[in-house]
Amino acid sequence: MVIATIHASDSTNTLVSLDNNHDARSKLISSSSDSNSGTCCRRTSSDWQKTALLLPADELDLDYSSNDYDCHCSCEEDEQALFLPSASSDVVECLKQIPAIQETREELVAFEPRVFTEASTERILYVHQGEVAHAVASQECDVIMSDRATTCHILALHSTASSGATTEPMSSLTHIDGDHYEACVQDLVDAHKRHHGKNAFELQIHMVGGFADYEGQSSKISNWLVRVLARIADASSNTTMRLQTCVVSSMNDNGFQCPMGRGLAMELKTGRVFLAKATHAVMGPHMALRMARLWSAGTTKEHKLHVIHTATSDDMVIQPFAFAALPGMDKLMALPDQVLLEYTSTSPAVEEDDFCYSIRTTICFLQKVSCTKVFGRHCDRTLRFGRRSNTNDWKLM
């Protein structure tokens, strides 16, 4: 789901851009595969560029406690490196030809999503669209996750320091709705660098989202995100970045233009990822307020991912922001669900059953609550929530 601003010049007067560009789909790459290395035949072509972003590793070979482990050790450097095609080519079509990428993809989608409910005993750190969360296993958190992604992408990172380091592994997760967050993705990686200090570490990258949608919204985000991560890897020192799991765009399509994976979760202790789904009971405090960032007249032009949790505090934080109901919301509320879907989603045919309920709840909140009532007279008071008794209930601090 991607919600955009109502533009005065938009004759459709909708919250979703309806400018369909059917030529936006990137052209397919016709290149053969090297069945031994799992990489495309590109070393002799100027159309391919070697990156510092590495291919998936066999989990059995990842022994971070070994004294022989070296984040920068690679006896077959070229075989581990991800080669990307020219800027005009479709990255996803390249990734589909790499056996190592396909193997981790198949491992992820082989199991049905795990559902977290009010009865779940795991302590969930839920990340909404447009949010970022960082956490370590020693905090009051077992699983970090997000779901309900259609064209959106969920990006999860897990970093582990080399042998001898005292810093514990760190996990991060964000829910991205567009291709304009490069600085935020860089901040995500930088948070792991600060966490590990001068220690060398490996950063495993997992991403899920999108499907083979007609307008190519998914592939646009996928191509952008992989290239951004490659650029960050190329510029990073003391850090090894590995694209361990990539299930995006057409790689995440069930064959009927519908995403297979809509949610991604990560265990903080192990860094293991799996498909997941959450009910409202475990989505954390103040859902309507957090979703209001996507709708508010004061925030719709922001291209920023908002940090709600850090590895240094157990509190969930909502930073103050000015919000107000957008014009025409009364008309939206009066629409039947099927019509509301068409006006408020980039992918109405594949949204969750509770999509319209969530939209109506958020609009109602924006219409009835002022930002000064939530964030104080000057709209400058940060809200902090603490987890209640090791459960998924949160209380305002």
For the chain, domain boundaries: 40-285+299-314
Residue 139: what are its φ and ψ, rounded to 5°? -85, 175
pLDDT at 72 over 80: no
* Check whether domain 40-285+299-314 has CATH 3.40.50.850, yes or no: no
Mind listing the pLDDT tens digit for each residue in 145-176? 999 999 999 999 999 998 778 899 999 999 99
What pLDDT is stored for residue 86 in this prediction? 80
For 235-243, what is the mean pLDDT?
94
Mind listing the pLDDT tens digit for each residue in 266-322? 999 999 999 999 999 999 999 999 999 988 755 555 689 999 999 999 999 999 999
Residue pair 124/392 in contact (Cβ under 8 Å)? The answer is yes
Tell me the two tokens of residue 314: 């157990």
pLDDT at 9 over 50: no
What pLDDT is stored for residue 296 in this prediction? 74
Helices 337-344/355-368 angle, 10° precision: 80
The residues facing 40 across adjacent strands are: 33
What pLDDT is stored for residue 301 in this prediction? 57
Burial 247-277 (b: 16+ CB within 10 A, else e): bbbbbbbeeeebbbbbbbbbbbeebebbbbb
For 219-244, what is the mean pLDDT?
96
What pLDDT is stored for residue 25 in this prediction? 28
pLDDT bracket for residue 63 (50, 70, 90) = very low
pLDDT bracket for residue 387 (50, 70, 90) = very high
Residue pair 188/206 in contact (Cβ under 8 Å)? The answer is no
Residue pair 265/273 in contact (Cβ under 8 Å)? The answer is yes
pLDDT at 70 over 80: no
Say how far apart CA 230 and CA 234 lie, in whole Å.
Answer: 6
What pLDDT is stored for residue 78 in this prediction? 63
Cα 186 to Cα 193, 230, 271, distances in angstroms: 11, 11, 20
- How many alpha carbons fall within 13 Å on the CB side of residue 242? 25
What pLDDT is stored for residue 77 in this prediction? 55
Return the closest-CA partner of residue 129 out of 359, 363, 365, 386.
Answer: 359
pTM, rounded to two decimals: 0.86
Strand order from edge to edge, sheet including 273-278: 114-116, 273-278, 264-267, 143-146, 124-126
What pLDDT is stored for residue 162 in this prediction? 84
Mind listing the pLDDT tens digit for each residue in 40-57? 444 445 688 999 999 998
What pLDDT is stored for residue 66 in this prediction? 37
Mind listing the pLDDT tens digit for each residue in 29-39? 333 334 334 44
For 213-223, what is the mean pLDDT?
96
Mind listing the pLDDT tens digit for each residue in 362-383? 999 999 999 999 999 999 999 9
